[in-house]
Homo-oligomer: A and B are copies of this chain.
Amino acid sequence: MKPSTEPCTARGEQRRSQILDAATGCFAREGFHGTSIATISKAAAMSTGHIYHFFASKEAIIAALIERKLAQSLELVSHFENAEDVFQAMLERVDQGLQERTDPAQAALELEILAEAARNPRVAALVREADAIRRERLMGVVRSARQNRTSRDTGNTSDKEDDSAAVTEVVIALFEGLTARAVNNPTLERTALAQLLRQVLRALL
């Protein structure tokens, strides 16, 4: 049932967050299909039946969790959009991005979401809609970074065809690939990698 009254919403929203927080850990540890409602309810310190007062189904929990995570991922883009020197801001975020993407729990959840999106049309629609927005805005960031860079060097900002879309794709692919690397290579040398990532950004932008 949908809680529609006002006081219900406040407490309800807190309970929803409580469930999503618990589910995040469970899903990262055991996957969407490996995690039972009983496991989530135990982690959230409530009964199985109670969970169904806030989410219609297990898939609704997964969808809400994914939506929350996707919304958070847009904050990074906002940070770049609001930065004074966009290019410099991107260079400075490399370390943090590398750290986050190679965190085992975050990497596991990210891969779980992608794997689910690859086979579940509803999840696919979610992540693709969010990606389209993020991609569009990130392309704007890339374009502005490049304009700043080229105008600083040559004073010429407009030339030939614009491959900013492809550059954006490559940058995203590079960082999303780090998630895969974290799983495949736990001995990853982060310092040297971060340095090289910045070098690639300088070459691309």
Residues on A facing B (Cβ under 8 Å): 28-31, 33-34, 104, 107-108, 111-112, 114-119, 124, 127-128, 131-132, 135, 163, 165-167, 169-170, 172-181, 183-186, 188-189, 192-193, 195-197, 200, 203-204
Contacts and interface: CB of A to CB of B under 8 A. Distances in A.
A2 to B, nearest CB: 29
Contacts of A183: 114, 117-118, 124, 127
A131 to B, nearest CB: 4
A180 B127 CA distance: 11
Counting every copy of the chain, the complex holds 2
A172 B177 contact: yes
Contacts of A112: 115, 118
Contacts of A127: 183-184
Contacts of A193: 166, 169-170
B111 A115 contact: yes
Contacts of A117: 183-184
Contact of A179 (B169, B180, B203): B180
8 contacts: A30-B119, A127-B183, A127-B184, A131-B184, A169-B185, A172-B181, A176-B177, A180-B180
Contacts of A195: 163, 166
The residue in A135, A169, A173, A179 that gathers the most chain B C-beta atoms within 10 A of its C-beta is A173
A181 B185 contact: no
